[in-house]
Amino acid sequence: MKPTNDFATRLLAWFDVSGRHDLPWQHPRTPYRVWLSEIMLQQTQVKTAAPYFERFVAALPTLRDLAAAPLDDVLALWSGLGYYARARNLHAAAKLCMEQHGGELPRDVEALKALPGVGRSTAAAIASQAWNDRHAILDGNVKRVMCRYHGVESFPGLPAIEKQLWELVDAYVADPALPDARMADYTQAQMDLGATLCTRSDPACVLCPLQSDCVALRDGRVQYLPRPRISKKTPQKYAHVLWAEDPQGRILMQRRPPTGIWASLWTLPQADDEPLARDWFQTHLSGEFAHAVPLPAIDHAFSHYRLRITPLHWRGMQLRGRIGDNDALRWVARDELDLLGIPAPIRKLLLTRPDA
């Protein structure tokens, strides 16, 4: 626990030679693009987020554009990326910046943390990368590096351990040998070290600039640190979805409620079991429920439960009465699907073409 060595100096020297200098959000590196990238990269790998980032900034190049866009457009750009609260928070934060910060991101970590979707680490990442301000991050990469470098033998997600890790990174970032002008590089260097060298499995310790005083390497503990969280098995849940097409081949889509899983996204009408699916059908549609064509079940895994989705398909359906022309239930043509935020497994299902 001696943050008085040349941690930052060695890390920056390594970064200059071996860091990542061509990530999409680095050219140009504007506050808006840094912010967007940090939100997209929460619990998401660079390789996954990169194409979404390119598409997003092409459609909404500035914070002003984002604030002015309909939420449905933002969710459509996020569709398939997961953790959709990030998209809703991003949109709300953009509007807040328009009203309270003159259309710009605030250059202040406390104001950044007050934005929805921005916590302590993300605020520090934005401030350091956008303006070279002196703030320490503590993301998954830094936690892994710190646990190994200091030989932390407890799961880093525990509040007490996390507090200890924050104290460590705060001490390192206060090193006078770390120049103000290099704070953006320092933050990027830590993430690059964790993502490309000090990886979860099979880290390249032989190439590491910190190998001379890494506790885990010294003690042969690298492959055991950081310790994993205590696992518990995830429950199995079930859902029946109703895929109804009208005579024009349009699909009946329903907007999910603003809270819970897939909040505010568009999906097929869904029920917990088949009797409830029948009830929904008979309330909303005219036709014969028993004429449903069952399609193969889809197994989808979330982080905290597994979901088996059983689709039922009908053609030539129409709604009862006048229900349907509203913001939560409507017929959608196939070529309009790209304009909606749709969960990945439902989008994948709709792209298959059920047989006659």
Partner DNA sequence: AATTCGGGGTT
Partner DNA sequence: AACCCAGAATT
Strand partners for 331: 252
Edge-first strand order for the sheet with 251-255 is 266-267, 251-255, 329-332
Indicate which single residue of 119, 294, 296, 316 sits in contact with DNA (rule: CB under 7 A).
Answer: 119
Identity of residue 233: K
CA distances from 119 to 13, 106, 166, 171 (A): 29, 14, 13, 20
Q: How far apart are CA 96 and CA 153, in angstroms?
A: 41
Span of 139-147, 171-179, 216-224, 239-247 interacting with DNA by CB under 7 A: 139-147
- The CB-of-122 to DNA minimum distance in angstroms stands at 3
Does the annotation mark 38 as catalytic? yes
Closest CA to 17 of 185, 205, 201, 206: 185
Q: What is the smallest separation between the CB atom of 165 and DNA, expressed in angstroms?
A: 12
Q: What is the DSSP letter of 289?
A: G
Site map (CB under 7 A) of DNA, residues 9-48, x = contact: -----------x--x-x-----------xx--xxxxxxxx
**Residues 272 to 331 in contact with DNA, rule: CB under 7 A:** 300-304
**Two tokens at 73?**
């457009």
209 vs 343 by CB, closer to DNA: 343
Residues in the chain: 356
Q: Where are the beta strands (DSSP E) in 110-258?
A: 236-244, 251-255
Separation of alpha carbons 69 and 133, rounded Å: 30
User: According to CB under 7 A, which one of 239, 314, 343, 349 is a site residue for DNA?
Assistant: 343
Q: Which of residues 259-278 bind DNA (CB under 7 A)?
A: 259-263
C-beta closer to DNA: residue 112 or 317 = 112
Question: Rounded to 5 degrees, what are φ and ψ at 202?
Answer: 55, 55
Q: Work out which of 106, 121, 168, 185 binds DNA, going by CB under 7 A.
A: 121
Would you give the binding string for DNA spanning residues 187-226, x where CB under 7 A is met?
A: -x--xx-xx----xxx------------------------
User: Mapping DSSP to helix (H, G, I), strand (E, B) and coil, where does residue 313 land?
Assistant: strand
For DNA, the binding residues (CB under 7 A) are: 20, 23, 25, 37-38, 41-48, 80-85, 89, 113, 115-123, 125, 139-141, 144, 158-160, 188, 191-192, 194-195, 200-202, 228-229, 231, 233-234, 259-263, 300-304, 343-345
Task: Report, as residue numbers or ranges, the catalytic residues.
Answer: 38
